[in-house]
Amino acid sequence: MGKRIGFFLLFCTCTVVHAQKLTLLYGGDIMSHGPQIKAAYHPETDSYEYDASFQFIKPIIQQADLAIVNLEVTHAGKPYSGYPQFSAPDELSLALKTAGFDVLITANNHSCDGGAKGVIRTLDVLDKMGIKHTGTFRNKAERDANYPLMLEKNGIRVALLNYTYGTNGLTVPSPLIINYIDSNTIRKDVKKAKEQGAEYIVCTMHWGSEYQSLPNSYQKKWESYCYEVGIDMIIGSHPHVIQPVERKTINKKERFTAWSLGNYVSNQRDRYKNGGLMVLTTLERRKGIELTDVRHTFHYVHVGQDRGVKCYYMLPDFPYNTFKKGFLPPEDKFKMEQFFNDSRLLFKDHSKGSTELKVDTTSELGATFIGHLTGYYVVQVEEKNDTIRPNYSYSDSIMRLLSSTGKIIYTSQPYSSKETAITLKNKWKKEQPEKPIQLLFIRPETIEIIPE
């Protein structure tokens, strides 16, 4: 007699659980040399404008969940000055925030350039702008309360540490604190980070030999120590040139070191110094928090013009002259290509575990670049003579542009689609009918009002 086999179908409701991911972007040294300060100044408004300089790099920064950069200047106030003791206009950090940076690290060899006043005022400026920062502190109580800087997003908790090898022989009196590289300090800070629930620890180190493309023994010694005490990732700055990145396994744990990210923006125009590196890392919750992806992109600093105003553009590799003839004069085009070739050769020979992020002309990112070169739509909120940024409910998405009359125009982010921009314009007009909201078409040379 055959056996009757019963089949039972079990119905269940399944919930799809998406893996928790966190993307962190790191940028190099934000410098403010004298020619940069002079170029940013606009006498019509008695203000300093930097936003246009970031227009090509901004969409890459905004791909990250959190973006971090080294503020290698102080905001010590007027008179503003470049090298050797930097005091940059406050508007520089505001432009960094507008570009998409969430955290500015402040422990570097120029932390004490403005003395005690410079340390305190820099922190005051960043606090007033609502920008997170770490590395320098007004006193021990402030450091105890806010360090390590804990960053939590997408369900992942990261501790950010920041130290410098020195401050050019300058010091500031107690109770001010500058984080110097010190073995006992680092060990205690790592322990505290873990006690506060850090699932991943990133350490930013201001170290190395200036203008050298490979790490020195000092960097290697401290890298080894940092990994020994439990740090997961190290991001380096100070040499003012790019150094390699390395994804490696140490004691069966994956680690990542970016030895030096070079100059994010500066007036250093010599070969190797005239550009920088951004690193985009992805953390993902698996068995623990794991590093699952590392990408990098090089950018060249080009001194150009935006509607007649001198700008220090940060330019990723892209065929700019294809879409705007003469955007890069022959000599600048040669220097840019030389920078990218030098950087790729360095990475080919010495880097491990990172993929270059390139801007394809047919991608959404490429379309944004083309728009900046040929023209794009924005929604104007208002035009003002003063430099006080308006307080809108959507302030974080507002750009600043200079009109031909020298006034400051506050607008939306750029759009290649006229229809998308019109939809936003109608929405904002309904929300704030008292504002002179209108549609503009922005070209590199002109600003055109688009009639209703």
Compute the CA torsion angle 238, 240, 242, 245 (nearest 10 deg): 10
Q: pLDDT tens digits for 263-278?
A: 999 999 999 999 999 9
Helix locations, 177-284, DSSP H: 183-195, 217-228
Phi, psi of 442 (to 5 degrees): -100, 120
- Domain ranges across the chain: 21-300, 375-450
Q: pLDDT tens digits for 79-101?
A: 999 999 999 999 999 999 999 99
Burial of 299 (0-12, 13-18, 19+ CB in 10 A): buried
The verdict on pTM exceeding 0.85 is yes
Helix (H, G, I), strand (E, B) or coil at 46: coil
Question: Which residue is it, tokens 């985009």?
Answer: 280
CATH topology of domain 21-300: Purple Acid Phosphatase; chain A, domain 2 (3.60.21)
How far apart CA 394 and CA 88 sit, in angstroms, is: 27
Residue spans of the chain under pLDDT 70: 1-18, 308, 385-397, 404
Binning the chain into helix, strand and coil, the percentages to the nearest 5 are 25, 30, 40
Q: Supply 70's token pair.
A: 């080294």
Q: pLDDT tens digits for 377-386?
A: 999 988 876 6
Eight-state DSSP code of residue 374: H
